[in-house]
Structure 1
Amino acid sequence: MHPALHHGIQYPTQAGSIRNGRSHLKSHSVSAVNLAQSSNSTTQGSEASIPRRKGAAHRKNLTTGVLMDHSPYTAVDRSISPHSSLERLSRTSSSSSGHNASSHLGHVYTLSADPRDWGTDLYLDAQEADDHIHNPSPVNEKHPLDPLALHGKGFNSSSSGFSKGKQRSCRPWDIMNRRGLANVGGMALLLLAILGLFAVYPVVIAIRNGAFGRSSIVRGVNGTGQVPVLGNWGLIDQDTPQEVRTIASYHNPDGPRLQLVFSDEFNQDGRSFYPGDDPYFEAENLHYWGTNDLEWYDPSAVTTRNGSLAITMSQADPELNYNLSYKSGMLTSWNKFCFTGGLIQASVMLPGAHNVIGLWPAVWTMGNLGRAGYGATLDGTWPYSYDSCDVGTLPNQTLNGFPEAATNSGFNEGPLSFLPGQRLSRCTCPGESHPGPTHDDGTFVGRSAPEIDIIEAQTTRREGSVSQSGQWGPFDFGYEWKNTSDVVTIYDADVSKLNTYRGAVYQEAASVVTQTNQDCYELGTGCFSVYGFEYKPGFNDAYITWISDGAPSWTLLSGAMGPDERVNISARSVSQEPMYIIMNLGMSFGFTNNVIDFDHLQFPATMLVDYIRVYQEPDALNIGCDPEGFPTADYINA
């Protein structure tokens, strides 16, 4: 059944089409008369009983005769409003008038309710008592803005029902009236009051109390007279004594005095070296697998106490220590502080006893392009110090099996080198990854991560000593670097001797072993001994002079690492790379010839460092990890 027949009522089902301005209802449309009769028979003339389509009302334009749908809440043109329609109907109909006509239309059509029947006039031209409060664009009280004027010049405002007063267009400044200015002014006064309370007033009080006197500005004295303790973050530690801020050269005592460029006295107890906690040093969190160490390096093992840096090795539960039985510390200044050339000193108390084998304490330096403990950064960079494009840069130092000496002059007449080849060599082609710079001929400068050791401490059952060495690549025939007296000086043959270890397939070591002060151990008298090296980078007049117990131990001139025609390699330079500092306490069978005296080692064992100081010649100052001639930052960050 059609929904309209549920109550016995029929409704128009389609609107007519408009042709030439007139309405022609289609043949299947129900006539208005039939609709009225059907309605009368069921509702007895009651207009309220006629159901309406939800959300809309049927309306008919009495001028054109067209049925139209309008929501009772939809704004329509005043020309077709219910009242104007009724007015036109009363003027044009001769058969109906007054109440009868209106009642008849109520049965035939569904008409929107007139808001004026509710006591409310909602038309745009109607003015209400509170319009001045919420009018969004008041022009002035005499000439309120006609909203319909916003429709444009072509809009017929005469039919809108507005008053015929003067109408004005909306201009940007029309929103400014006395009420708006009062609001903005009040907000501005409130803001000024807040600023005065929290900004101006404290300054006035501080000035009145004399907190900005000449001396207080310099010293940072607060209102109660307290002097702040500022962070000691300068390159030179404030605790470094003035009398040691210049020093005579160990290599050339008669030359210009060296100038202090960096120091850390470690006088502040309880320092943390976790990543980000210190501006120049960071403790590593890793296993040094490259040398098969027995310990895990943990930042918690590195701190400061009693005016010294303390690196402690202790026994640990393997289940809580990465399956390793020992925990220790490794502190580096990688990519934080580097220096090129000059003198580095470290005042150290070695761990344990001078006659118990097993511990491997070290203070050393490495080129910033390689990060100690991170094997990928060292592959093809360590221990090279080479700036030639020849077979020395190639894997195993050979090309198609030549030179033959590189295949049989190694350990037990085996291969000389297992190195993978110099990654950043002078042979690097344009466009390939390389940190630069370039030579005048356009070729790249050979770059690498060379190593120079201040000390690697070792012991026997009789005495303690330190190995002071430089690591080199590529390698000489049979690792036989030139150690003749014209290029090597040993200052005291009674305490210093050439190291019998000269290298292996992964490194060549130019090294001298020097006896230590046997008292300056943790289980000795507790004294500190000064170790270090002074060097000049490059070729020709380059050199390295090592210091042990505050005195020169030995010197290597660059000629000791000159070319070796037997394996077709060129000269290796004294490191020209920016060098960073490393301090660690390890333990490895590889360093002690498979002998570790666990029965007599005492844990925890601690290496103490009283200070680190770096000096350079006044006319050769070069600090920083990204120097102009040997940049590293872009390559590291790429």
Structure 2
Amino acid sequence: MVRNETNVRDRNTGEYTFVPNHSPTQAHNPFSDAQAAYELSPVMSSQPRTAAGGSAAGLPRTHSDNSSSEASGIARGEVGGGYGPYAYTLPQSYPQEQPLLGNGRGHIATPPMPQPNRFSSNVSEASYASDYKGHYTAPGVRPAARSTGGPSQQTTTGTGVYLWNDKDDEMDDALHTADPSGKDERHNFELWSARGWLNVATIFILLAGLIMLFGGFPIIVHFRDDRKDEGSATPGFNLGGINSTGQVPQLGNFPSMIDPDTPAEAYTRKGFDGSDYTLVFSDEFSVDGRTFFPGDDPYWEGVDFHYWPTGDFEWYDPSAITTRDGKLVITMTEEPIHDLNFKSGMLQSWNKLCFSHGVYLEVSVSLPGVNDVGGFWPGVWTMGNLGRAGYGATTEGTDDRLPAYTYDTCDLGTLPNQTYPNGTGPASTLEGNNGNPLSYLPGQRLSRCTCDGEDHPGPKLSDGTYRGRAAPEIDVIEAQIDVSVATGEMSQSLQLAPYDAYYYPFNSSSDYQIYDPTITKWNSYRGGEFQQAVSALTYVPNNVYTNTSGDYNTYAMEWYADTNDRENGYIAWVANGVRSWTVHASAIRANPISEIGDRIIPEEPMYIILNFGMSNNFQSVTFTQLNFPNEMHIDYVRVFTKDGLGTVGCNPDDYPTAEYIAAHENAYTNPNLTIFADAGYTFPKNRLVDTC
């Protein structure tokens, strides 16, 4: 007998009840066609029956029976694809009515279901129960599909397979969210898309930045600093023209070569000729604890050698130099070092910081020792960049001032000993030093007479000759003690070669001026076989020594040297803050007695040297009265250039040095070599004595 009822399970109690079915003509009810299936459910009646598998009637069905039935259904693919909390599949159409398995008591009718998704098409208990409350299909029962016009239900003979599809969310990947249903997967171009234009603009900005970084910036720097490493003829300094390698020094918080602690009133000055000068470099030494070992500082470097050219008693070591209490401190100590008994310091800006043509160099110094005991030899001086102080192979000889040529003429002044090629004259040279030879110089190595194609730094001039080059010296101060009056004095001088007869420059009132004869006088020392000195001595106050009051005094020099205006060149010195004396180019003009041409006010790029030495070759040292340790203090160093003329840099176009130094590295890096030949190099040919 067929019951027109449907067995429905109450989800709260788990009990089953019969609900009458509606006739086909009645309005459709989701449960109108369901057949009672309680006999096959886990809570089915225990009335005796004969199971399809041949079970004995009257025995209740156990949990193992249900498990076995479900396992069998899973193995056959009848159960599993859509069961459980992760069921995805819904039937594609109304299932067909189908007799209950094993009893033939009726049919199960299922209500309409939504269309399936894109996963498995297996039937799922959750597919029914989750959307149609009250309906239940017993596990193990697989309803047949009834055609309703849609595609038939798919089944498998194995387990359900969930094929991966990028159109659906991933259950185990929270970052994978499928596109909304129905979205066009084609990526159409939209001209006025704000997001698109923003993306393009971002990419453009990134590309432009990369191009500017690796392409534009180097081009801008090249054209902005078109005289890089070569100095500049404009006021101030040119970036990249600081040293021969093109480095732009940065010291701590320094934004430029001008120390930010330099007072504003020191940024400009009026020259002694009325010209405007602009500050281009300053070091106030206001940062304590600075060191000056090689590589420590962009401007300065402490040397590490014995200064043998002048027979010094001390060994120069960078550890003797530091900054303290806003000043540079160079300390001389009595201690054994490198077979010597004293250690001190020499600070150089060689090949790092150079100046030429119209320049004013000023320092504020407190001198070592006391005003009535001689022996210390503090100095502030400059030298041409082609000579490295203390490196004998670059200065060729036994004195630091070799070869201090300031000469651009091709005549016997360029030859060894300043004599004719056959050595027969002139007489003033053969006996001009109290019956002795005037000069022992080896000759001007880089002269105007150098044969074409020989080893010469240049430049080559329009007439095909080379410009005469060397390493001249200008001393701001070399301090000594006038023990006869127990007062300190400064030697302020120009070292030069070739020499005047008897070492006497021209000394008319138009050739030089001494501004206060009560404290300034001509230096009685005028020169010797290895140098000529155009020099004056100026007394200084007793309170400017570190072992007395420790006060500071200002010393300076202003020099003007123009290749196109050599006859008006001059050097003016300052002591005690005021101008002490001046020498003009006319004082060192051509000398017919010694048969030489004009010496010139130095036009070479000059670097700065600060040192604290001790030697009997300058003043007799009274060791028993000197105290150690002793210190030399420098408050500041400032450099100004003449507007429109002064040059900053060690490798200017008109006086290049970089290539020559690089080509003679051994001479410029080994202080133990005493002459040029020891470094493995030879003198270039001179057309006055050699065949070009």
1:577 to 594, 604, 611: 604
The aligned runs of 1:97-108 (5 Å cut-off) are none
Asked if 2 retains the 8 angstrom alpha-carbon contact of 1:403 and 1:568, the reply is no
- Following superposition of structure 1 onto structure 2, how do residues 177-216 of structure 1 map, counting pairs within 5 Å? none
Query: Which residue is equivalent to 1:617?
Result: 642
| Residue matched to 1:445 | 467
Following superposition of structure 1 onto structure 2, how do residues 178-577 of structure 1 map, counting pairs within 5 Å? 231-232=253-254, 234-249=256-271, 251-252=272-273, 255-317=274-336, 321-340=337-356, 341-379=358-396, 382-399=403-420, 400-461=422-483, 462-538=486-562, 539-577=566-604
1:376-414 Cα shifts (integer Å, max 9, x gaps): 001186210000110000000012124232443343310
Q: Separation in 2 of the partners of 1:571 and 1:458? A: 31
1:464 & 1:535 partners in 2: Cα distance?
25
Distance in 2 (CA, whole Å) between partners of 1:371 and 1:407 is 28
Distance 1:377 1:490 in 2: 34
| Alpha-carbon contact 1:545-1:555 (below 8 Å) kept | yes
What are the within-5 Å matches in structure 2 for residues 38-57 of structure 1?
A: none
For 1:429 and 1:563, how far apart are their aligned partners in 2?
23
- 8 Å Cα contact 2:270/2:277 also seen in 1: yes
Distance 2:633 2:419 in 1: 44
Does the 8 Å contact 2:567/2:586 carry over to 1? Answer: yes
Aligned position for 1:165: none
1:315-357 Cα shifts (integer Å, max 9, x gaps) = 012xxx1110000000000000000031000000000001101
Cα 1:450/1:423, change in 2 over 3 Å: same
Structure 1 vs Structure 2 CA RMSD: 1.7
Q: Is the 8 A contact 1:522 1:606 kept in 2?
A: yes
**Partner Cα distance (2:392, 2:576) in 1:** 33
1:587 counterpart residue number: 614
| Structure 1: runs of 5 or more not aligned | 1-177, 179-188, 190-228
Q: Equivalents in 2 of 1:408, 1:365: separation in Å?
A: 31
The two structures have a TM-score, normalised by structure 2, of: 0.57
Aligned to 1:300, what secondary structure does the other structure show?
helix
- Are 1:401 and 1:407, in contact at CA under 8 Å, matched by a contact in 2? no
Pair 366,230 (structure 1): closer, same or farther in 2 beyond 3 Å: closer
**As a proportion of its length, which structure holds more helix?**
1
Q: Distance in 2 between matches of 1:581 and 1:404?
A: 36
Counterpart Cα distance in 2 of 1:303 and 1:533: 25
1:148-178 deviation line (CA, Å, top 9, x unaligned) = xxxxxxxxxxxxxxxxxxxxxxxxxxxxxx9
Deviation at 1:237, TM superposition (A): 0.7
Matches within 5 A, 1:600-611: 600-611=625-636
What's 2:71 paired with?
A: none
Q: Secondary structure at the match of 1:519?
A: helix
Report whether the alignment pairs 1:596 with 2:614.
no
The 8 Å contact of residues 272 and 278 in structure 1, kept in 2 or not, is answered as yes
Aligned-residue offset at 1:524:
1.8
**Cα-to-partner distance string for 1:66-89 (whole Å, 9 max, x where unaligned):** xxxxxxxxxxxxxxxxxxxxxxxx
More displaced 10-residue stretch of structure 1: 534-543 or 396-405: 396-405
How many positions carry a matched residue from both structures?
405
Measured in 2, the distance between the counterparts of 1:383 and 1:621 equals 22
TM superposition shift of 1:422: 0.3
Cα offset, 1:519, TM superposition:
0.7
Contact kept? 1:361, 1:585, Cα under 8 Å: yes
Residue of structure 1 in register with 2:668 after alignment: none
Distance 2:388 2:540 in 1: 29
The residue aligned with 1:156 is none
| TM-score normalised over the length of structure 1 | 0.62
* Equivalent position SS for 1:560: helix
Runs of at least 5 residues in structure 2 that lack an aligned partner in the other structure = 1-163, 165-174, 176-250, 664-692
- Contact 1:348–1:610 at 8 Å: present in 2 too? yes
Q: 1:212-266: per-residue Cα shift (whole Å, max 9, x none)?
A: xxxxxxxxxxxxxxxxx953262111111111101121x22xx233100110000
Q: Is the 8 A contact 2:487 2:541 kept in 1?
A: no
Q: Measure, in 2, the Cα distance between the counterparts of 1:440 and 1:561.
A: 26
- The DSSP-based 3-state class of the residue aligned with 2:593 is helix
- Give the greater-gyration-radius structure (CA): 2
- Of 600-609 and 406-415, deviating more is 406-415
Between the aligned partners of 1:338 and 1:495, the Cα distance in structure 2 is 31
CA offsets per residue over residues 3-22 of structure 1, 9 Å max, x none?
A: xxxxxxxxxxxxxxxxxxxx
Q: Which secondary structure state, in structure 2, belongs to the residue aligned with residue 607 of structure 1?
A: strand
For 2:466 and 2:581, locate their aligned partners in 1 and report how far apart those are by CA, in whole Å.
33
C-alpha change, 1:396 and 1:230, in structure 2 (3 Å) is closer
Q: What do residues 8-40 of structure 1 show as CA deviations (whole Å, max 9, x unaligned)? A: xxxxxxxxxxxxxxxxxxxxxxxxxxxxxxxxx
Deviations 1:455-500 (A, max 9, x none): 0000032110000000010001110111221111000000000000
Residues 358, 598 of structure 1: 8 Å contact kept: yes
CA distance in 2, matches of 1:361, 1:230: 28
Question: 8 Å contact 2:429–2:594 — kept in the other structure?
Answer: no
| Number of the residue aligned with 1:121 | none
SS at match of 1:413: coil
User: Aligned ranges for residues 155-166 of structure 1 at < 5 Å?
Assistant: none
Residues 426 and 595, structure 2, Cα contact 8 Å, conserved in 1: no
